[in-house]
Amino acid sequence: MPASSLPASPDATGDIGAALELDLEDLAAGGGTDCIGALACGRSSFSYRRLPEPRLRLTVQKLDDSFFDIEIARSATVWELKVTIENLFSALYDDTQKTISWNHVWSHFCLCFKDERLTDDKATLRGFGIRDGDVVHALP
């Protein structure tokens, strides 16, 4: 039964009673200040904010056995991992005159996880079984 045809009980008071007595024209016009909920205000849907995706914390081990930590989205691809590494190095060495040719780096070195080369830039890290706290190696 539509809200406009529901009889208000004699003891209904306050905003609930007013919302039940609204006719459909008022609902279509957006209701009033006595609206309760989205439907009473004439809205047909609710909106919500998506929660931020949890991040993966990874350690990248370089050829000289030094390492650094990065954070990346759990749904990230190999390409996004490479971009994150590039951005980290760019931020670290921003004040120097040196430039890094990332095309050269990625053509001569690759990232590996558990003896598996991460060569498909479109593949997800999840597809390789990479989890929070894992170590990814940079190998020639």
What pLDDT does 48 receive?
Answer: 72
Q: Which residues contact 36 (CB under 8 A, 6 or more apart)?
A: 15, 16, 19
Range picked from 9-18, 19-28, 50-59 for highest mean pLDDT: 50-59
Mind listing the pLDDT tens digit for each residue in 29-72?
555 555 555 555 666 666 677 888 889 999 999 999 999 999 99
Helix (H, G, I), strand (E, B) or coil at 127: helix
Domains, the chain, ordered by start: 3-40 (no CATH), 55-139 (3.10.20.90)
Name the residue with tokens 């004439």. 42
Dihedral of alpha carbons 84, 85, 91, 97, sign? negative
Rounded to whole angstroms, the Cα distance separating 10 from 64 reads 81
So what's the pLDDT on residue 87?
Answer: 92
Residue 33, number of CB atoms within 10 A of its CB: 7
